[in-house]
Amino acid sequence: MFLSKLMPLDDAQKIINTFTESTDVEEISLEEAYQRVNAQEIISTLNSPPFDRSAMDGYALLAEDSFGHSETNPFQLKVMDRIGAGQKSDLKLKPGEAIKISTGAPIPSGANAVVMEEFTHEEGDIIHVETSLTPGENVSPAGEDFNKGDTVLEKGKLLGPAELAIIASAGFDHVSVYKKPRIAVLITGSELVMPKKDLEGAEIINSNHFTIKSMVESCMAVPEMFHSIDDAQLVEERFNELLKDYDTLITTGGTAISKGDVVVDVAQKLGEVHVHGVSLRPGKPFGFAQVQGKPVFMLSGFPVAAMVQFDVFAREALLKMQGFKRNPLLVHKKAARKIASTLGRTDYIRARMEGEMVHPLKIKGSGIIRSMVESDSYIIIPENLEGIEEGDQCQILPYHSLKA
Amino acid sequence: MFLSKLMPLDDAQKIINTFTESTDVEEISLEEAYQRVNAQEIISTLNSPPFDRSAMDGYALLAEDSFGHSETNPFQLKVMDRIGAGQKSDLKLKPGEAIKISTGAPIPSGANAVVMEEFTHEEGDIIHVETSLTPGENVSPAGEDFNKGDTVLEKGKLLGPAELAIIASAGFDHVSVYKKPRIAVLITGSELVMPKKDLEGAEIINSNHFTIKSMVESCMAVPEMFHSIDDAQLVEERFNELLKDYDTLITTGGTAISKGDVVVDVAQKLGEVHVHGVSLRPGKPFGFAQVQGKPVFMLSGFPVAAMVQFDVFAREALLKMQGFKRNPLLVHKKAARKIASTLGRTDYIRARMEGEMVHPLKIKGSGIIRSMVESDSYIIIPENLEGIEEGDQCQILPYHSLKA
């Protein structure tokens, strides 16, 4: 039997933080690296671009040849060569000469500007140029983006389209990333069954199976799902097995605070319970333990409470294991009605954003899944506020910003 | 040779919209349905919860027995049965009787309230109750969440943790979803090579390979990557092959506006080019065509321009093909400095958010990948503004909110 005072969120988060470590590093192909987190800074092996290149389709020339010229005072150049993208001219350009060039091709030796095709017309090997250019015009200089030896990406970045592009451009087709943590999810509850159309007796559909699985996936971690009836012996066996094989254990159910409850009791027996009961609504009956040196997140069996607890405690921890730290985007909107809270407790109120307003849902109850489907965000009422008046600016956490 | 006036964004988006259709529907296991889009509304086959159930661990009783009682005036009940979660009592409760009950278990016949365990103490088969209860207290009534026949989810929803939970609770272990569109990505450019540490001659690393691939993945679609040199004949062959096998073609390169360019010319030859050149910066040289009845998005070869074009034109189209319509979350922040623009042109300025401020990056050039890595959002300057003054509220599109 484990009893405790409700713990403030910050304290619980700090404790969890001290017990979560990053996973091992593995090297993978850049082709597979989208939505992974790089475990090493990227130092470029190349200049990018690797040479002065043309930013336009046109003619490479000496800017000095064009000085003082215009549409009404054109000048002529002799076209010495024609190079497409991927080609390079070996000629050295002299005054009075031009080389036809495609976007991306290396600026020929001797040239220092590119005139766009539309400011010219060609007659045989001669072009008439109807504009003047400054040296460097329409030229992307070598190393404009970055140089060999530059750190182009810090470690711990979530690899998105731009990050993959810069790693590639730095010369790498492989990248070191943190391994995806393997998460055992143990859903407890004798009444729980998988979805079916005819329920019997006291059966309830195991919706947490789907919520927690997909929430783990939304943290880029790999869930494996298990179920146990409410039996201390069986739950204990499961703990021992799963903590041997997985990086982390997440449970649902058996976390009641007022008395001993199956899951928290097992965690206390096998390891150490560091958090049990937090001043969060919904989500008070949350537990965190370290067992066999591994973190165990004990969520409520109530679907909505479990989701909030996951978002508040497990989500950032699973990302941290992958070397990724971030601050989810908070927005501010006006409360469409008054919301009561209690000093010392943090509330996560399901809400719906609409323009500059946010509407707290009226549906209460930590079992009401519909309230999660109909909302798109949490209004967070921090513990130092007694509530929010109608029209007050409040802090909103859009569900979308929770996903990594 | 294909020439055109620059088209406003809205017009181009409307045209694209008329040429994109949703994919076929398939039925998949709910286990696999995270981040898919449901193609049918979900009508519950069950009440949820399916019976009146206990919201607490405690004793089921008749509230009427408790009226007028309190800590200083307790009363006694006889415990007739004990039921855990997943169990059901066949007894019918009479006045003076109680049944020990776990959270989630069905309320026994005759009972109408549950007293929490901490307001009682047990002596053998007798409990002393030190509080009074109202009828319904600590009882979650059947159908509190939803009832059989209720529409619990509209079609076209992105299936996240809450949506999966409600589909399961409605009795379904399978769900109809839109197929993931298969996207052929054809990167053109004779100069492009895969990442390596020693570049020769005019070689440039094909960073678009990684950007466009991962951007397609971020839209929940399935990319297949191809490359072609800048040769009209070869590009035409690729168009013909790929449009036979894939739902959509996305190309990069060969979209210059001032003159004929390989990719747009091929699209014009094989089908119809509906958009070529948009008043967008960066990203002006964008093309959209319909070829063999399929949409073709022609992006610039410049990495940053291609990313912006994808975000503005391709992203929502790929989601729409999967039956998903959404409005990415826009936020508003104060510009840290003045930003110039031009009437009639939409600007997507790479920027970094910081508290209530947003900092436009100083890096220009549509080839500068570093600017995408260092920014976390676009400042959007709509076509009816000539720019933004320092301190003005401006419209921000966080990159994070682009991901589905």
Q: What is the pLDDT of residues B13-29, one digit of tens each?
A: 999 999 999 999 999 99
Q: What is the pLDDT of residues A77-95, one digit of tens each?
A: 999 999 987 888 999 999 9
Residue A4 pLDDT level (bands cut at 50, 70, 90): very low
Q: Which tokens belong to A83?
A: 């190079």
**If you count DSSP H runs as helices and E runs as strands, how many of each does chain B have, helices first?**
9, 28
Identify all chain A residues contacting B190, using CB atoms and an 8 Å cutoff. 84-87
Contacts of B118 in chain A (CB under 8 A): 258-259
- Residues of chain B within CATH 2.170.190.11 domain(s) are 53-140
For the stretch A174-218, pLDDT in tens is 999 999 999 999 999 999 999 999 999 999 999 999 999 999 999
As beta bridge partners, residue B281 has B347
Q: What local confidence, expressed as pLDDT, does residue A3 receive?
A: 40
**Which residues of B are less than 8 Å from A162 in CB distance?**
211, 307, 369, 372-373
Total residues belonging to chain B = 404
Which residue among B144, B189, B369 sits closest to A162, beta carbon to beta carbon? B369
Q: Chain B contact for A220, CB < 8 A? A: no
Q: Where in chain A is the domain with CATH 3.90.105.10?
A: 25-48+149-178
Q: Is the pLDDT of residue B8 over 80?
A: yes
Interchain pair B329, A208: CB under 8 A: no
What contacts A109, CB < 8 A, 6 or more positions away? Answer: A91, A92, A93
- A68 to chain B, closest Cα gap in Å: 25
What is the least distance, in Å, from the CA of A204 to any CA of chain B?
7
Where does A9-24+180-321 sit in CATH, by number? Answer: 3.40.980.10
Distance in angstroms (rounded) separating the CA atoms of residues A226 and B81: 30
Query: Quick one: pLDDT at residue B260?
Result: 64
Q: Does A3 touch chain B (CB under 8 A)?
A: no
Q: Which of A193, A284, A184, A276 is nearest to B85 (CA)?
A: A193
What are the residue ranges of CATH 2.40.340.10 in chain B?
331-402
The boundaries of every CATH 3.90.105.10 domain in chain B are: 25-47+149-178
Instruction: For residue B372, list chain A residues with Cβ-Cβ distance below 8 A.
Output: 161-162, 165-166
Instruction: Please give the Cα distance from B104 to A60 (Å, whole number).
Output: 78
Reported ipTM: the value is 0.92
Taking contacts as CB-CB distances below 8 angstroms, the residues of chain A near B209 are 168
Whole-number average pLDDT of chain A: 94
Please check whether the domain covering B9-24+179-321 is classified as CATH 2.40.50.140: no
The pair of structure tokens assigned to B241 is: 């092959």
Name the phi and psi angles at B275, rounded to 5. Answer: -135, 130
- Chosen from B191, B216, B356 to mutate, greatest number of chain A CBs within 10 A: B191
Fold that domain B25-47+149-178 belongs to in CATH: Molybdopterin biosynthesis moea protein, domain 2 (3.90.105)
pLDDT band at residue B84 under the 50/70/90 scheme:
confident
pLDDT class of A261 with cuts at 50, 70, 90: confident
In chain B, which residues fall in CATH 3.40.980.10?
Answer: 9-24+179-321
Tell me the residue type at B34.
Answer: Y
Q: Does the structure show a pLDDT above 70 at B39?
A: yes
How confident is the model over B231-250, as a mean pLDDT? 97
Chain A segment 168-187 residues within 8 A of B by beta carbon are: 168-173
Say what the pLDDT of residue A74 is: 95
**Mean pLDDT (chain B, rounded):** 94
pLDDT the model gives residue B4: 47
pLDDT > 90? residue A346:
yes
Give pLDDT, residue B362. 82
Asked whether residue B299 carries a pLDDT value surpassing 60, the answer given is: yes
pLDDT 10s digits, A126-160: 999 999 999 999 999 999 999 999 999 999 999 99
Mean pLDDT across B321-336: 94
**Which amino acid type is present at position B154?**
E
Q: Which fold has domain A25-48+149-178?
A: Molybdopterin biosynthesis moea protein, domain 2 (3.90.105)
Burial class (CB in 10 A: 0-12, 13-18, 19+), A2: middle
Which of A191, A206, A264, A401 should one mutate to test binding to chain B, selecting the residue with the greatest count of B CBs within 10 A? A191
| CATH H-level superfamily of B53-140 | Molybdopterin biosynthesis moea protein, domain 3. (2.170.190.11)
CA distance B101 to B88: 9
Residue A19 has pLDDT above 70, yes or no: yes
Using DSSP's 3-state secondary structure scheme, residue A143 falls into coil
- Is A331-402 assigned to CATH 2.40.340.10? yes
Establish whether the linkage from the previous residue to A49 is cis, with ω within 30° of 0: yes
Interval B184-208 mean pLDDT: 95
List B residues 255-314 in contact with A (Cβ-Cβ < 8 A): 256, 258-259, 261, 301, 303, 307
